[in-house]
Amino acid sequence: MTDPLRIPRRFADEIVQHCITGRPNEACGMVGLLDGEVVKVFRMTNAAGSPLRYSLEPREQLAVENTLAEKGWEGAPFHSHTRTEAYPSPTDVRLAVGDIPYLIVSVAQEPAQIKAFLIVKENWEDETGDIEEVPVEITG
């Protein structure tokens, strides 16, 4: 069993609010992780500007990755699904490129739902992979 990803309530609320505000398009960003707990939320621009897919804005992504490196935090992306459940789509799996948790927020229902997944591939260039849910614990 994978250790749970812990998200303090204030950060979970911030992620959900960013995803709701982004509608009708998918919203996205990254979180900073320290010892499996979210310590910072980075709200980012969906460069794809689409209700069906997301792309982190490259300059923002570089700035966030620099901050993560400076602080010694791990990073994990998050994005919303506006009309479907919080589960990786075939596109999410195809585009996954790291052994990190991917957070998906479904704003298709009330209340919004946050889930996290590892996408396991033999080779990061593979189009498919195995999806393993990571337990999410909202704390505080």
Measured between alpha carbons, how far apart are the two ends of the chain, in Å?
Answer: 23
Instruction: Give the predicted TM-score (pTM) of the model.
Output: 0.95
The phi and psi torsions of 79 (rounded to 5 degrees) equal -155, 165
Does 58 sit behind a cis peptide bond, omega within 30 degrees of 0 on the bond before it?
no
- The CA angle 115-119-106, to the nearest 5 degrees, is 25
pLDDT tens, position by position, 63-102? 999 999 999 999 999 999 999 999 999 999 999 988 899 9
Which strands sit side by side in the sheet containing 136-139, from one edge to the other? 130-134, 113-120, 102-106, 74-81, 28-34, 37-44, 5-8, 136-139
% the chain with pLDDT above 90:
89
Give me the pLDDT at residue 98, please. Answer: 86
Residues 6+ apart with CB under 8 A from 62: none
Going along the chain from its start, the domains and CATH numbers come out as 5-139 (3.40.140.10)
pLDDT in tens, the chain (140 residues): 579 999 999 999 999 999 999 999 999 999 999 999 999 999 999 999 999 999 999 999 999 999 999 999 999 999 999 999 999 999 999 999 888 999 999 999 899 999 999 999 998 888 999 999 999 999 99
Q: How many C-beta atoms surround the C-beta of residue 130 within 10 A? A: 11
